[in-house]
Chains A and B, each alone.
Chain A
């Protein structure tokens, strides 16, 4: 998975979890939960969405790595090889 693939995937999943959110307003290293007003259920939906599309298990102790868009990109590209 390339960085761009990962970014597209993240956009798509976030678009479903928070259709009203404006992803373009989130800086690459800004915490998504804060910037997009995601609560714990939203975040779980987000992780579930990533899991369903990639098959990755994404254990809970990896959640901190997923808090920013760039963190997610790194995580997805590294995990999916």
Chain B
């Protein structure tokens, strides 16, 4: 069970999308996992053949639990197939990576290959600290290698060599796991059923099988209205209203245990989500010495540019301001790299890649901040497509594991709700969060004259262990400068 965000302790396997014998490639979605916050499609980070599924559908297990056994492409049980990738070079095989389970080792003289169980986050940490996970004994349940195992091994390494990163070490590779190709991959459709959490709850309340209900939500996802409609069809007492929505098409709700238990289920999930957010934010406030800066940005160029661009565009390809905020933030990281990356132990590891976490509020309560990958390399148009897709999927409840586990910096935009500024709490182990308030007309003094301009307040919450106010100020002024030339973003 991969860690899909620092606030996740357990996950439930909602659905397996592979079976034993299936050949998988890196990045394939192999399972759907439900967390307290969302439904996540779990991608596998290693090619191979699924040998065995170790956790049944519906089972909830702690982070770090092995979900499946995968034989590596060179493994003894590989079935000849053209889709099996070429054998991994020895150097790469020395530090294999797998979201679920490491491939069985291929040494011929070992009958029972040792399984190496390590979550991507912990493996990340190990790579950063120069710890060879293969040499570790996992102290977690079922031999899982935990963060503590890696940290103590890292500390031992430091004791041996005072400078673990001295010149004798190979040049640092770009940190982080191998990234997906920069081009935006088409979103593979699930063989399973996509549905919003609310739709599933309502279906469960009404005793309906959710599969088979035609979905009209984003990407064909089943939403509450679909379930309500299906109720009408099943009841077939009244002709279904073609535009039936929960208001007028309210399914007959019987007061009774079914409804009561459904409500309790939702409450439990709400409580669990608040607890998870609370725990993570408490940890952030406890561990991260935050400092906060804010700056007012003249947004008139952006407003005018968006207006002009959108006038020429069909509804479906119009841009919104948050896309510009995200792109400017992603680009500004190049000037002040200490805003982008992770703390591991007491060391900051800058990230060569810019994956911007976007805080998305869920209408049922709670917030989630999945990543737009390589946001610095996407055109504003591509970023807009990615943003719309991400927000829609976050709200309809289908995100992918890589989106949850690897944001390198977060952007929050509460301006749509009308607030002027937001001083956010950093998502550990990230080190910075940029907030944007609403874009509104304000008096603005230029050259001794007061005029009216569209403005927005940008704020930065950053980690004092990594940077100070001077660098933070530089970061915000870089964002400001970038937003003065929206056409170049």
Contact = CB atoms under 8 A, between A and B. Distances in A.
Interface of A: 8-9, 11-12, 14-16, 18-24, 33-34, 37-41, 44-45, 47-48, 51, 57-61
Contact of B225 (A9, A16, A59): A16
Contact of B223 (A16, A33, A38): A16
A40 B321 contact: yes
A41 B388 contact: yes
B416 A33 contact: yes
B67 interface: no
Contacts of A58: 315
A48 B316 contact: yes
A40 B417 CA distance: 9
A34 B418 contact: yes
Nearest to A50: B315
Describe A's contact surface by its main secondary structure: helix
Which one of A18, A23, A60, A61 has the greatest number of beta carbons of chain B within 10 Å?
A60
Contacts of A59: 311
Contact of A44 (B198, B243, B320, B413): B320
B217 interface: yes
B199 interface: yes
Given A15-B223, A40-B321, A41-B388, A23 B245 contact: yes
B273 interface: no
Contacts of B218: 16, 45
A51 B416 CA distance: 22
A12 B243 contact: yes
A61 B318 CA distance: 12
B307 interface: yes
A39 B363 contact: no
B247 A24 contact: yes
Contact of A20 (B224, B321, B322, B417): B224
A33 B416 CA distance: 8
B216 interface: yes
Interface residues of B, number: 35
Contacts of A38: 416
B411 interface: no
Contacts of B246: 15, 22
Q: Which of B307, B315, B387, B416 has the most CB of A within 10 A?
A: B315
A11 B224 CA distance: 13
Given A19-B196, A41-B322, A57 B314 contact: yes
Contacts of B391: 39, 41
Given A19-B224, A22-B247, A60 B307 contact: yes
Nearest to A56: B315
Contacts of B364: 20
Contacts of A8: 243
Contacts of B315: 44, 47-48, 51, 57-58
5 contacts: A11-B247, A16-B216, A20-B196, A40-B416, A59-B311
Given A44-B318, A44-B320, A19 B225 contact: yes
Given A11-B248, A12-B243, A44-B388, A19 B198 contact: yes
B392 interface: yes
Contacts of A44: 315, 318, 320, 388
Given A16-B216, A40-B320, A45-B392, A23 B247 contact: yes
B310 interface: yes
Minimum-distance CB pairs A-B, first 3: A39-B416, A15-B245, A20-B363
A44 B247 CA distance: 23
Contacts of B321: 40
Interface in B272-328: 307, 310-311, 314-316, 318, 320-322
A60 B224 contact: no
A8 B247 CA distance: 11
Given A16-B217, A20-B196, A61-B311, 19 more contacts: A11-B245, A11-B248, A19-B196, A19-B199, A19-B223, A20-B198, A23-B245, A24-B247, A37-B417, A39-B391, A39-B413, A40-B320, A41-B322, A41-B387, A44-B315, A51-B316, A57-B314, A60-B307, A60-B318
Nearest to B217: A16
